[in-house]
Amino acid sequence: IGGPLQRSTVKEYGAELLARSHMVFELQAALDREPQHGALIAHYQPQVDYARGTLIGLEALVRWQHPVRGMVFPNSFIPLAESTDKIYQLDMLVLEQVCRDMRAWLDVGLPVVPVSLNFSRRSLLHPQVIGDLQALLARYAIDGSMLEFEVTESQLLETGEVVAPRVAQFRALGARIAVDDFGTGYSNLDAISSFPFDRLKVDRQFVHGVADSDKVAGLFHLIQGIAELFKAELLCEGLEEEADLAWLAQRGADRVQGWYFSAARTPEAIVRILTVLRERTPDAPALTVQQL
């Protein structure tokens, strides 16, 4: 083959493949470490009910503490884990950490709130997932109702093996199901109505700037209507601006999550937050940004 351009493209492609397989190798090594080693660790982002001024939940978001590259965010390794069959091991590792953390928090009397986990479609449909989940709930004495499983709209509604029976098995254990990144898939209403879900998470593209854009506001209203139709709880993600919060609150969309309140925090930081909340009196004013 020809000129310098093509030759360098081939070279780059080769380098990319090499980097990718090296990353898969490193990811497997991280997955096989003792969970307590913490190479893969979930941080937690607070979810708040703004009107009531309460912490209503925490979302577990995995991070990879890479020895050389530092903290690596999930968008650069979750797709790799999904395409190489390692995602189940990863999602279960996070699930186990969540159960272990909750048990530790309960044991010292902290006011524990439900935790949401992100689950890939593959993990949701894995043949062992219900048995493994039941075993973890028993081992750490955690009630299924303390967990919520978030699956992105696009993965949930992918055609293929039907998810409805599996969703029902999760809910039979008391766990909740959330449709994540809602509005970014095909929003196939017929497909969505084929199984029950508990929460609809509005993707940040319909939250960020909602106060300034008629188009974003219109789309937000549509999504809010869909949540009402399906009797699902609405939670807005990616809230960064006070103006957007005020706009949402005026429309009764009080459940929010985003950097305005807090980014994802280490488990140690969550212990500090829960400790502060334990000391709050019932008539204390609404949660402030500083309290999270």
Q: Which is nearer to Mg ion, 150 or 244 (CB)?
A: 150
Phi-psi region of 148 (alpha: psi -120 to 50; beta: other; left: phi over 0): beta
State in angstroms the smallest separation of the CB of 154 from ligand C2E: 10
CA 265 – CA 263 distance, rounded (Å): 6
- Token pair listed for 49: 């009910």
238 lines the binding site for ligand C2E (CB under 6 A): yes
78 lines the binding site for ligand C2E (CB under 6 A): yes
97 lines the binding site for ligand C2E (CB under 6 A): no
Given 26, 82, 153, 180, the residue binding Mg ion (CB under 5 A): 180
For the segment 148-177, give every residue that binds ligand C2E (CB under 6 A).
150, 152
Q: Residues of 174-204 as b/e, b for ≥16 C-beta within 10 angstroms?
A: ebbbbbbbbbebebeeebbeebebbbbbbbb
Q: Which stretch binds Mg ion (CB under 5 A): 68-76, 80-88, 176-184, 214-222?
A: 176-184
- Token pair listed for 67: 């020895």
> Of the candidates 211, 138, 137, which has an alpha carbon nearest to the alpha carbon of residue 175?
137
- Token pair listed for 68: 């050389």
61 lines the binding site for ligand C2E (CB under 6 A): yes
45 lines the binding site for Mg ion (CB under 5 A): no
CA 290 – CA 250 distance, rounded (Å): 22
Cα dihedral angle (14, 15, 17, 23), rounded to 10 degrees? Answer: 160
Given 23, 137, 239, 273, the residue binding ligand C2E (CB under 6 A): 239
31 lines the binding site for ligand C2E (CB under 6 A): no
Q: Which stretch binds ligand C2E (CB under 6 A): 30-38, 68-76, 107-115, 159-167?
A: 68-76
State in angstroms the smallest separation of the CB of 205 from ligand C2E: 10
CA 260 centroid distance within chain = 17
- Find out whether 197 and 227 touch, Cβ atoms under 8 Å: no
238 binds, among Mg ion, ligand C2E, none (CB under 5 to 8 A by kind): ligand C2E
155 lines the binding site for Mg ion (CB under 5 A): no
185 binds, among ligand C2E, Mg ion, none (CB under 5 to 8 A by kind): none
CA 214 – CA 197 distance, rounded (Å): 29
183 lines the binding site for ligand C2E (CB under 6 A): no
Using alpha carbons, list the distances in angstroms from residue 175 to 32, 48, 134, 143, 186.
27, 19, 11, 8, 25
Residues in touch with ligand C2E (CB under 6 A): 45, 61-62, 73-75, 78, 87, 91, 94, 118-120, 150, 152, 180-181, 204, 237-240, 258-259, 264
Residues in touch with Mg ion (CB under 5 A): 118, 150, 180-181
